[in-house]
Amino acid sequence: MKPPYASARSYREQEILTAPPERLVVMLFEGAVRFLTRARSDLERGDLAGFHSHLGRAEAIIDELLATLDLRQGEIAERLQAIYVFCKRQLAQARIARDGDGVARVAGWLGELRDAFAEAAKAAAPPAAAGEATASGALRA
């Protein structure tokens, strides 16, 4: 018998494998915010191992965002690089000081970036053609 979470995991894996690049970036931001929220919660409960683990996972996501930047694209990429590096520094300081508020600030900044990228992705997405299936599976007339 499959574990109850197996179908949810399979669904998530399929979502990642089939997502367009702009959606993947939004998903990375969502993951970073989720891990930072968990890290802060861990710290409040006194679970330092969980705090460090979740903080590390969020930092790994920021590293991935940094690694995928194409700095040949100009000023926007350079500014994003500066923001990501700043967030990493803030998280390093929050880790040392065990500062939940510092973690929450970074989560807020990354949440704002997630929202901006989600809006940009939505604006860049081509409208569904007549008779084409929408994301919900319904056909557009």
Question: How far apart are alpha carbons 126 and 44 in whole angstroms?
Answer: 44
Nearest CA among 81, 127, 90 for reference residue 108 = 90
The pTM of the full predicted model, rounded to 2 decimals, is 0.79
- Average pLDDT score over residue span 98-125: 95
> 66-88 pLDDT, tens per residue?
999 999 999 999 999 999 999 99
SS3 sequence of 109-134: HHHHHHHHHHHHHHHHCCCCCCCCEC
Q: What is the DSSP string of 73-111?
A: G-HHHHHHHHHHHHHHHHHHHHHHHT-HHHHHHHHHHHH
Nearest CA among 32, 59, 28 for reference residue 121 = 28
Question: How far apart are alpha carbons 109 and 113 in whole angstroms?
Answer: 6
In order of start, what are the domains of the chain with their CATH numbers?
19-123 (1.20.120.340)
Reported confidence tier of residue 125, pLDDT bands at 50, 70, 90: confident
Residue of 36 and 135 predicted with greater confidence: 36
Q: How long, in residues, is the chain? A: 141
Nearest CA among 35, 54, 53 for reference residue 111 = 35
